[in-house]
Chain A
C-alpha cells in the first residue's frame, strides 16, 4: 500500500543540452505548479560545462508536502535525443548517463521532437506513451499568431516553451496558471516575449490534445482554488542570502567557485539596497582574511566557498580563532570531492574537514542545517555565535540544497534576535583595556577599532591578555584554556533545538541517523518504511561542534536499531558520533556518486541493510 505522497505525486523531468534554457523553462513550470496550490520540490543536475552537455531539471509536485524526488518519472520532456537515451552510443565506456527513458514509470509519457524521426522500437519499452511533437512546426505556428511568422530560427530557444506547452496539454494541468507564470517572468520590456511564449504554450497544448488520445497513467491537477495557499519557491542559496541580510551582514567576500557562487552573486544583486557590500577577491586566502579584517573592525562578515576554496582558508581559519575574531562565518557549500572532484554535483564529504579546518587546537562552531528553514535560522544564529563567542563559524551546506527549489510557507523569524555579544565600554582614558582578558567563561569584551580608549593589538602568535606576543608557559596554558572555555560556554548556551532534532516518536523500532540536506528524503522515506508496520524515528544532527555528545549518546544507547544515512563514502557523521559518544551505529547506508539520495534509495538502502544484515550498503540508482 503506497503512502499518500507516493499515490499523488507527479515526477516531471525536463532534459536538454546545457545553455539551452532548461532552467528558466523548468522554473516557470514549477511556479505554475506552486501557484496551483501544489507543493513542489525541484532539483537540477548539470555538468561543469557552459554549453552542450546534458543537464536536467526534475520537478516533483504533489497536493501534499514533498521534500524529495523519486527514481521514477511520470512525464519526461526531452529537448534532445541524448536526454532520451544518454551518451552511451558515443562513449563506449563509462557513459556520462544513460538517458531518462529507462526511468519512466509504467504508463508514463515522453515528449520529444518529432523531427528526430525516432522509431518507437528504439525506446525499447511498450509500457510508456510516446508523444512526438514537431517542435519547430508548432513554434512556427505560434509565432505566426503573434505576427512573427517565419522567424522560428531566431526564436529557437522557445522550443523549450513548446515542449512545456505540450507537457501541460498532455498532463492536463491548468494552462492559465502557466500563462500567469510566464507573464510574471517576462514583465515590462519583456512583455512581448511573454505573449510569444503564451502563444507557444497554446499552440503546443492544442497540438498535443488534437494529435494524441492516449493519456499517461498519471496526470496532474491544481488543488481546488479555495484551498490554494500562496507559497514562495525558494532555493537554498536564496534562503542563506536573505538570512545573512537579516542578520546584519556588512561584508561578504568570495572567490568564484561552484556551487557557492550563486549565493554571493545573489548578495551582489540584493546587497546594495540593504547597505551590504560584496567583494570579489583574488583567491580564498584573500577572501577569508578580508572577512577577518572586517570582523575585527566590528562588521559582521562572511565568506562563501566550496571544498577547494575552504582548503585555502585553512590558515586564515586558525588566525581568526587565535585572535578571537568575532567571525567570520564561513559558508561551506559541499560538492563532490576530493580535489576538483565533481564541481557541480553534491556530496556530504566535508564534515570532517569542517571539523578540522586548520592546524593546532582551537575553538570553532560547525552547524549543518537540513532544509530551507534551518539554513535560514542557522545562518542567522551563526553571526550571533561568532560575535558572542568570538570565534569563526562554519555553516555546512550542500550543492543539493543550494540549487534545489522548495515551496515554503514562510520562514518563522519571530524568534530571531540580533546578539552582538560583549562590547567593552571604554573609560575616558582607556588605560588597562585587555582585549584577551582572562575570564571564567572565556569571553573577553571586544572593542570597535576607531573607538577612543579601546586600543588593542592582537596577533596570530600566542599572546598575553593585552594581545602582545609571549611564549611564557603560564600564559600559554591560561590562553589555551580561555579560548577552549568558550566552546564549553557555547555548548552550554546554544539551545538544544539548534543542536539536533528527533523526528517521529521518541522510541521506535528503527532509528535513522543523518544530517544536512538528506533530511528531506529521509523524512519522506520514513513514511514508506513505516508501511511494513515498524515504527521509525529519525535523529537529525545539526550542531557538529560543540557536539551534543551526552544527549546524542543517551538517544542512541536507547535506540533498538540504528541506520546511518550519509551522502559520502566514509560515514563521516558515524565517525564523529563514535568519537564523541562511543556508540557505533548498526548499519550505514551510503551514497557517493555525486547525486542526492532519491526517496527510493533511502528506503531500499535501509531495507537492504536490515534484511541482508549488512553493516554497510552503497546505493546508486541513477
Chain B
C-alpha cells in the first residue's frame, strides 16, 4: 500500500464501529474473529456507522449487532434475511449486513436462504458456520457431516450435512464466498468484497466452537494432524477466476458454477476458502426502482407518501 494512502485520514475511527456492550461469547470462540473482521471491513470501507444496519438471527452469532455500533436488529431464529430485505427495501441507502449461524440460516431459515438468492437484494449475508447449535449446548447443526459425533452428542449424526455453497449456487446468489474465522486478514478482505458487490453476497465462514465442537477445532483447521493447513485459498491457484464476464452467456454461468460446485465439495483434508462465484445481475432494488423511479435517487422512507390523492381510484369505481 502506498504511504500516502495508508496515511490518509479516516473520517470514522475503527473504535466507532465498536460498542461498550460486554461480549458474552466463550473464550476462544471463532465468533470474535468474525466480529472483528466485520468491524474492520466497515472501517476500511468507511461506511458511516449510522448508514449501516446489522441484522441478525438467534444464537451466539445473533448477538453480533449488539457489539457493533451501527443500527442493529437482533431478530428471530432463521428470519434475519426477510427482516434485512424489508430494511433494505425501505432504505436503499443503508449498507445492510445480515448475520446468523448455520442452524439459523440452513436449518430453520432454509426457506429464506434459498429465496433471498432469487431476489438479489443489494445486501450481504454472513453465516457463522460451526457445525453445532452452541447456545442450546451442542446439538448437530445442518452442516455437521454424517457420521460425526461431537462430544456433546450422544450418538453420531445419521443425517447428511448440507453444502451451503452448492445450495447458494442453485438459489441464484450473485456473489458466493467462504472464509475462516481465525484468518481475520483474509476474512476482512472477503467481507469488503462482499459488501462492495452489487446484489446479495453470501459468505459462509468456518467458525470454531471450542466448547461444543471438539472435531472442527482450530488445530483441526490448522491441520496439526496432517502437518499442513487444511485451509486452501482458491485465489492461490493462478487459474482460479470466479467472476462471470458475460452474465448473458449460459455456458459461462454453468462453467463458473460447476467449478465453484466442485471446489465446494472439497472436504476433509482440503477446505477451499475465497470467492467461489461472482456475477453482476440486476438487483431486486433496481427492478423496483424501474417501477417506482423516485427510488433511484431517494430511499422509500424519504418519499412523500403521506399526501396522496386517491380520488382517481374512487373515480374508477363510479
Contacts and interface: CB of A to CB of B under 8 A. Distances in A.
A457 B72 contact: yes
B187 interface: no
B294 interface: yes
Interface string A430-456: 100000000000000000111111111
30 contacts: A233-B317, A238-B313, A242-B313, A248-B306, A250-B90, A251-B89, A274-B305, A275-B294, A277-B292, A279-B89, A282-B111, A286-B85, A286-B111, A287-B82, A297-B86, A297-B87, A297-B301, A299-B301, A316-B79, A323-B73, A449-B50, A449-B91, A450-B50, A455-B71, A457-B19, A460-B58, A460-B74, A461-B74, A468-B66, A469-B66
B87 A296 contact: yes
A97 to B, nearest CB: 30
A293 B310 contact: no
Given A250-B300, A449-B71, A285 B82 contact: yes
From B49, B83, B94, B299, name the one whose CB has the most chain A CB atoms within 10 angstroms.
B83
Contacts of A301: 86, 90
9 A-B pairs closest in CB distance: A293-B86, A457-B72, A459-B74, A297-B90, A290-B86, A289-B82, A293-B83, A282-B115, A294-B90
From A248, A281, A448, A459, name the one whose CB has the most chain B CB atoms within 10 angstroms.
A459
Nearest to B51: A450
B125 to A, nearest CB: 14
Interface in B41-100: 48-51, 53-55, 58, 63, 65-66, 69-76, 79, 82-91, 93-94
A301 to B, nearest CB: 7
A375 B11 CA distance: 51
A598 interface: no
A187 to B, nearest CB: 12
Contact of A298 (B85, B111, B301): B301
A247 to B, nearest CB: 8
A452 B73 contact: no
A272 to B, nearest CB: 5
A569 B113 CA distance: 40
Interface in A281-310: 281-283, 285-287, 289-301
A293 B74 contact: no
B89 A294 contact: yes
B76 to A, nearest CB: 5
Contacts of A246: 308, 310
A270 interface: yes
A63 B295 CA distance: 48
Contacts of B299: 450
A118 interface: no
B91 A298 contact: yes
Interface residues of B, number: 55
Contacts of B76: 289, 315-316, 319, 460
Interface of A: 230-234, 238, 242, 245-246, 248-251, 253, 270, 272, 274-277, 279, 281-283, 285-287, 289-301, 315-316, 319, 323, 410-411, 418, 430, 448-461, 467-469
B318 A232 contact: yes
From A274, A279, A299, A316, name the one whose CB has the most chain B CB atoms within 10 angstroms.
A299
Contacts of B85: 279, 286, 290, 293
Given A295-B90, A316-B76, A448-B301, 12 more contacts: A232-B317, A233-B317, A246-B308, A250-B305, A275-B294, A282-B112, A282-B114, A289-B83, A291-B86, A297-B90, A449-B94, A468-B21
Given A300-B305, A457-B74, A245 B310 contact: yes
Nearest to A241: B313
A573 to B, nearest CB: 31
Contacts of A449: 50, 53, 71, 87, 91, 94
Contacts of A457: 19, 54, 65-66, 71-74
Contacts of B58: 460
Interface string B160-189: 000000000000000000000000000000
B288 interface: yes
A277 B300 contact: yes
